[in-house]
Amino acid sequence: MKQTQLLPSELIEQRILLIRGQRVMIDSDLAMLYGMATKRLKEQVKRNPNRFPPDFMFELTGEEKGEVVANCDHLRKLKYSPYPPFAFSEHGVLMLANVLNTPKAIEMSVQIVRTFVRMRTMLATHKELARRVAEMEKKYDSQFKIVFDALRRLLEPPEKPKRRIGFDVEEPRIPYRGHARRL
């Protein structure tokens, strides 16, 4: 079996979007990665509707399509498409590879799923780190209150002295030396 050239996972990561709270890939991006026309990919999906429940694949609304086109330069060609794009979750990508059943589609879907998994692992690691920092701040806040207060004061910009307008009441007045009368 001839192996296809694998893409860097950064290229795949750039094509994973967050829509409706799910990490998904748009049909045109998947078609490009699988080396086929988007129209053919959609035909296969429509022929196998039972394989794509709503948590595997959904159709974008007009508003979602507009937002995706506005935020992703590589998807600007979707702006003029009369058909709404499909969005595939990680499981939808696997199912799509089964439906397409080409060696390139299978290899690419494995790589895409690995990228999904790596992203999920990174997010879990960041959440754990943020949780630990918050715990440490709560635990050591009283012990390092002086340090935290000093850091907050250093981070605040110094107040600029206000420039006064008018006469200062406490300054001594210079007597008028013009035509003074004697008393």
The tokens 């196998």 sit on which residue? 48
Please identify which residue in the block is written with the tokens 């030396």.
Answer: 177
Query: Is 174 within the bounds of a domain?
Result: no
Q: Which helix (H) or strand (E) holds 25?
A: strand 22-26
Residue 22 lies in a domain: yes
Q: What span, in angstroms and rounded, lies between the C-alpha atoms of 175 and 102?
A: 102
pLDDT, residue 1, reads: 39
Task: Indicate whether 67 belongs to any domain.
Answer: yes
Q: Is residue 157 part of a domain?
A: no
Tell me whether residue 171 is in a domain. no
Position 130 scores a pLDDT of 63
* pLDDT, position 182: 52
Burial class (CB in 10 A: 0-12, 13-18, 19+), 60: buried
What total of structural domains would you count in the chain? 1
Residue 81 inside a domain? The answer is yes
| Ordered mean pLDDT values, 10 residues apiece, the chain (183 residues) | 55 85 89 89 92 92 88 83 89 86 81 82 73 67 64 64 62 56 51
Cβ–Cβ < 8 Å for 100, 34? yes
**Three-state SS for 88?**
strand
| In-domain check, residue 34 | yes
- Residue 108 lies inside a defined structural domain of this protein: yes
Contact in structure between 26 and 75 (CB atoms under 8 Å): yes
Give the domain range for residue 104: 9-130
What whole-number distance in Å separates Cα of residue 136 and Cα of residue 2? 53
Are 16 and 25 in contact, with CB atoms under 8 Å apart?
A: yes
Q: Tell me what pLDDT residue 72 has.
A: 83
